[in-house]
Structure 1
Amino acid sequence: MFPSNKKGLLIAGTALATLCGAGAANSEEMVALLLPENVNPRWEQQDAAAFVSTMKEIAPGVKVEVFNANNDTSAQQRQAEQALTQGAKVLVVIPIDGESSAIIADTAAEEGVPTLAYDRMINSANTSFWIQADMFATGAAQAQHVVDNTGAGDTLVLLRGSPTDPNAGVIADGQMSVLQPLFDSGERVMGYANWTPGWDPAIARRSMDQALTQLSNNVQGVVSSNDGNAGAAIAAMEEQGMAGTVPVSGLDCTVQAQQLMLLGKQTQCGWRPLHEMAAAAAEVTVRLLKGEDYADLATETVQNGVGADVAFVPVDSYSAVGAEGVAYVIENDPSITRDMVCQGEAAATDFCK
């Protein structure tokens, strides 16, 4: 896990900003952070904000340009080209599509600019660095939670992630490592499974509505790959009077997810220290700008989808369950406070009183 020994990682202001100032770094230097979409609030509110904040702290003379492609792979490629035209010296990319984003890393390499894959792998020989948690283990933890809270013969719904996101497949593989033996033996029944293009909650909602219709509401567990899917599933079950009676997993531990957990409607979410992931990416970015080695930060090497060795910084993850899990996230995530979670219906829960 990347050491959390830096100070000042609290989010300040909006992430979609350009920061510059005087400092040891060359004021002409600029780096670009390319976000995939704004469907999930974490990208702008947590990852980008923490990256910008850390860069301002450790390299105040470097401009940080933040782009959001809104789930458009062509737009993300254009934004990368724009950043390179503007003189970006490092690209930090959260790809929409791990395959098509290879052109971003390849184009940058032609100009001598390194590309860091943040959160999602870029399947290019020119990917310099990757930072992520063990998403296979995260998926396994989601599935295990639902299994632990269901019984023999119970029917499960699987709401998977976006088919173009490399992480979504790994999460699904982790889930199936737990579930497939149970499906094979009949201990659990796969009632419905579907992918969610763009991680769009509206698509997840349609999937859950279809599942409930096809199964005549005979659903005892929902293995959801992220919080957006979980919220969509809960909204669908709310209309059927089922919310709060069915275990539902998630990922990211958004404020909304934690509120739903306090209300007993979402029962689990996988949490990662996004501030540490962003800090690690910022530290590597600065090392690259200065021409310094970052081998001490990249503790492992992994192969990406094209067989290229990529320096890797793994981060820990935590399976948050119930009010205890919410308390853990609030204590360890500088972007989320108790006051933020204890709003609306959640304010009336015992946790918030």
Structure 2
Amino acid sequence: MRGLALRGAAGLLALLLAVTLAGCTDSGGEGEGGLTIGLLLPSRAVPRWEKSDKPLIEKRLKELCPDCTFVYANAENDAASQRQQMNSMITRGVSALILDVVDPKALRSSVRAAERGGIPVVAYDRLAEGPISGFVSFDGAQVGRLQGQALLEGMGARADGGGVVMVNGDPSSPNAAWYEGGSLAVLRNEVRILKSYDTIGWRTENAHDHMSAAISALGPSRIDGVLAANDSIAAGVISALKSARVSPLPPVTGQDADLEAVQRIVKGEQYMTVYKPFRLETEAAAAMAVALARGNDLGALVSAQVDSPTTEDIPAVLLDPTAVTRETIGRTLVRDGVYTIDQICTPELRSACARAGLTG
């Protein structure tokens, strides 16, 4: 994937300024009462889509374009359903689409149909195929590197040639290979990859089955760490380890900073997660969609270009993720208002929170 990611506070400030300016830009002519922005999300298996992305995108769209109509659909991990949902929005004549694609190849024809209908498509979080007009995501290679680096830290002395199981994401998602590549760049010369699994649908139950199979095949004593691609997968991994009475638990990675994952980190069951400030991603996507719906150029909103298997030089915003461990929950997730201490520190976690320095 080609292009430079936004870096540091200056880059984030520039993005926020550009997003704000997008709300003040209008191509003139017709009023905006007829503009409709469609949002297509991939599933409910990963909590962030419904709990964070959808409400944040809808809120920002209304701020940037108060008269715009917002339409939404969730594909429930089914590419055929998402294709039908997208085609329905195209038939409806939406002004722009934000697409978090289930399967890029399966949706390629729908992206082409949108282009034929004069409807720009912003690929959100996952790089879609076909003639998309823009792309917003976090740097997936960096996500994987952060996971790999944290796993080595969590393994301590056992990182020197220790054994790791990788429970990766859904192979139909382009991000899964992106994350895996970043992780392997860190782990490949440091540890032994004992088993590697792909997790269809990023589903917790599938990850549980993979980890159970690994424990059965290897024995728990050989597993020094688990690279779990996201928090839903981590939940399945940890459940399988606990069901097999593995103690102490090996370090397990994650991604998305789901509340349940943060609580597992506090308890010492999960070693880390990757925090991706969703507000920045949602604001960038909303600004791109509104600008494109108004017929405006994306030049002021983007900082990079990427290539998909079908399209070159796609205008893009790639944001920086952050690793979160028990020691850094307070100065990342709590400081940024993602969760309050009361949300994290339920009564049964109060003592663990105190040991982690999380006190209200």
Q: TM-score, with normalisation over the residues of structure 1?
A: 0.89
Of the structure 1 ranges 144-153 and 173-182, higher mean CA displacement relative to structure 2 is found in 144-153
Structure 1 position 161 matched with structure 2 position 166: no
Residue 143 of structure 1, aligned match among 148, 158, 163: 148
CA contact (8 A) 2:164 2:224 kept: yes
Q: Distance in 2 between matches of 1:243 and 1:30?
A: 53
Residue 264 of structure 2 is matched in structure 1 by: 260
Amino acid in structure 1 at the alignment position of 2:96: V
Cα displacement (A) at 1:137: 1.4
Partner of 1:215: 218
Quick one: which amino acid aligns to residue 211 of structure 1?
A
Instruction: Say if 1:104 and 1:263 are closer, same or farther in 2 by CA, change over 3 A.
Output: same
The residue aligned with 2:68 is: 62
Aligned residues: 330
Residues 1:159 and 1:345: Cα distance change in structure 2 (over 3 Å): farther
What is the letter of the counterpart of residue 258 of structure 2? T
1:181 aligns with 2:183: no
**Counterpart of 1:313 in structure 2: which amino acid?**
V
Structure 1 counterpart of 2:203, which letter? Answer: D
Aligned to 2:3: none
Which residue, 310, 328, 353 being the options, matches 1:306? 310
What is the TM-score when the length of structure 2 is the normalising length? Answer: 0.87
> Which residue identity lines up with residue 252 of structure 1 in the other structure?
D
Q: Contact 1:99/1:123 (CA < 8 Å) preserved in 2?
A: yes
Identify the residue that residue 39 of structure 1 maps to in structure 2.
Answer: 45
Structure 2 CA distance for partners of 1:344 and 1:170, relative to 1, 3 Å: farther
1:339 to 330, 339, 342: 342
1:290-341 CA-to-partner distances (Å, cap 9, x unmatched) read 2222201111111112242200011111011113235412222x44332221
Q: Against the structure 1 CA distance between its residues 244 and 57, is the aligned structure 2 distance closer, same or farther, given a 3 Å change threshold?
A: farther
Counterpart of 1:249 in structure 2 is 253
Mapped contact 1:25–1:62 kept (Cα < 8 A): no
Residues in 1 aligned to 2:204 and 2:277: alpha-carbon distance in whole angstroms: 23
Letter paired with 2:150: H
Deviation at 1:87, TM superposition (A): 2.1
SS at match of 1:64: strand
Q: Quick one: higher RCO (CA 8 Å, sep 6+), 1 or 2?
A: 2
Q: Are 2:154 and 2:251, in contact at CA under 8 Å, matched by a contact in 1?
A: yes
Where in structure 2 are the equivalents of 1:33-112 lying within 5 Å?
33-112=39-118
1:279 match: 283
What is the match of residue 16 of structure 1?
Answer: none
Q: Is the 8 A contact 1:30 1:65 kept in 2?
A: yes
Q: Aligned-residue CA RMSD in angstroms?
A: 1.9
C-alpha change, 1:243 and 1:316, in structure 2 (3 Å) is farther
Inter-CA distance 345–157: structure 2 relative to 1 (3 Å threshold): farther
Structure 2 match to 1:234: 238
Contact 2:154–2:271 at 8 Å: present in 1 too?
A: no
- Indicate how the Cα distance of structure 1 residues 326 and 252 shifts in structure 2: closer, same or farther if over 3 A, else same: farther
Q: 1:27 aligns with which of 33, 57, 60?
A: 33
Give per-residue Cα distances to partners, 1:252-308, cap 9 Å, x unaligned.
Answer: 011011001111111111111111100011111111122222201111111112242
Point out where structure 1 has 5 or more consecutive residues left out of the alignment. 10-23, 183-187
Structure 1 residues 212 and 301 mapped into 2: Cα distance closer, same or farther (>3 Å)? Answer: same
Alpha-carbon displacement from aligned partner over 1:218-255 (angstroms, at most 9, x marks no partner): 21101111011111111111223336531111110110
* SS state at 2:328 partner: helix
**CA distance 1:336–1:231, change in 2 (3 Å):** same
Identical-residue share of aligned pairs (%): 25
- Provide the C-alpha distance between the structure 1 equivalents of 2:263 and 2:72, rounded to a whole number of angstroms: 29
- Counterparts of 1:311 and 1:304, CA distance in 2: 11
1:106 to 1:307, Cα distance in 2 relative to 1, 3 A:
closer
> 1:9-20 maps to which residues of 2 (within 5 A)?
none
